[in-house]
Amino acid sequence: MKENISLLGKNTFGFDIKTKYYVEVNSVEDVENLIDNKVFTAFRDNNRVLILSGGSNILFKEDYFDGFVVHNNIKGKEVLEDDCGTVTIRCMAGEIWEDFVDYTLSESLYGLENLSGIPGYVGAAPVQNIGAYGVEVKDTISQVHTIDLFSGEKKVFSNEECEFSYRNSVFKKNRGKDYLPFIYAVDFKLKRKSELKIDYGNIRKSLEDNKITNPNNRDIANIIKKIRNEKLPDTDVIGSAGSFFQNVIIGSEKYKELKGRFPEMPSYAEKDGSWKIPTGWLIEKSGWKGYREGNVGVWDKQALVLVHYGGGKPEEITRLSEKIQLSIAEMFGISISTEVNII
């Protein structure tokens, strides 16, 4: 356990945040021992504990976190079952997500290729129900293994018990003053047979442009990483947390109204009759794409991304995001929510 530690290398926005206490856990036993630590329990009981993975989906409100940061570094993976074209793999939560995806690609497994290039750790994937290019991680997760940082009780959540929804889950919704789930492993069910999803965004066009007529999982992953790299900043150079806002889900009546006003508006039909609208388009339409305000701004290649050019404070990003939310509400009559977790 360390005191007054900088989190500069542990948040992709690149803010020099300091935390009161910091500890790295490398095993489930480390987590169990932490629950008996009096300093930890004092901060936990006051709701001042943050479980940190890759720091790629987080924004601190201030440059000092008066709390206790627990960094998940539990590594490892194993094949649990390989039967009838379905392979079940347990991956520990401290593994880097992109490394795990790459492992599944090398094993000729299908299901995660569209989620290639997403930063962060495996343990954060179910919390946020990460998704990209028409795929959500909920479609491949079979179980999530947790330990409650209050009681020490271990619980295995089935896919249904995870209560997955758009960028949400039970792990995000139910954290409270007497319950704090720490995810230490995730079980995935992947396929050996190709079930590629290439009709979202410009995946199909990119395949055609590259003259790939019979793509495999690696082809899709490479195309998606290329698209992402063209749109997103390199966080080693310019700070960001990827998509800052969630895409918008609206009802059919609101959809008809907006489509009447903006016929060019892109949209994707959902199974329940609602419509998903790309928030990046809304932000660009409102004139924010490429906007800069001091040390922060809106990325000029992807309007969903807010960036930190260096030398700034976290509150600058917060103020900019609030201005954008107000602008969208005034122009379209809808509210947009942050995808980034603001602490």
Instruction: Convert the pLDDT of each residue in 143-199 to its tens digit.
Output: 999 999 999 999 999 999 999 998 899 998 877 678 999 999 999 999 998 889 898
Is the pLDDT at 271 greater than 90, yes or no? no
> Which tens digits make up the pLDDT trace of 105-122?
999 999 999 999 999 999
Say whether 325 sits in a helix, a strand or coil. helix
**What's the confidence (pLDDT) of residue 316?**
97
Catalytic choice (95, 113, 316, 339): 339
> Which tens digits make up the pLDDT trace of 219-262?
999 999 999 998 899 998 999 998 999 999 999 999 999 999 99
- Residue 202 in tokens: 């410009």
> Between 260 and 202, whose confidence is greater?
260
> Which tens digits make up the pLDDT trace of 35-48?
999 999 999 999 99
Which regions of the chain does DSSP assign to beta strands (E)? 2-6, 18-25, 49-52, 58-59, 64-72, 77-83, 86-92, 131-132, 135-136, 141-148, 154-158, 181-191, 239-243, 248-250, 268-269, 275-277, 292-293, 296-298, 305-308, 341-342
Binned at pLDDT 50, 70 and 90, residue 278 comes out as very high
- Whether 167 is catalytic is yes
The lowest-confidence range among 54-58, 104-108, 287-291, 334-338 is 54-58
Is the overall model pTM greater than 0.75, yes or no? yes
- Whether 243 is catalytic is yes
Catalytic choice (53, 142, 240, 243): 243
Catalytic choice (167, 169, 240, 316): 167
How far apart are alpha carbons 109 and 217 in whole angstroms?
A: 8
> Which tens digits make up the pLDDT trace of 298-332?
999 999 999 999 999 999 999 999 999 999 999 99
- Whether 339 is catalytic is yes
How far apart are alpha carbons 202 and 257 in whole angstroms?
A: 26
Residue ranges of domains in the chain, CATH in brackets: 2-72 (3.30.43.10), 77-191 (3.30.465.10), 239-342 (3.90.78.10)
Binned at pLDDT 50, 70 and 90, residue 201 comes out as confident
For all residues of the chain together, what is the average pLDDT?
94
**What's the confidence (pLDDT) of residue 93?**
98
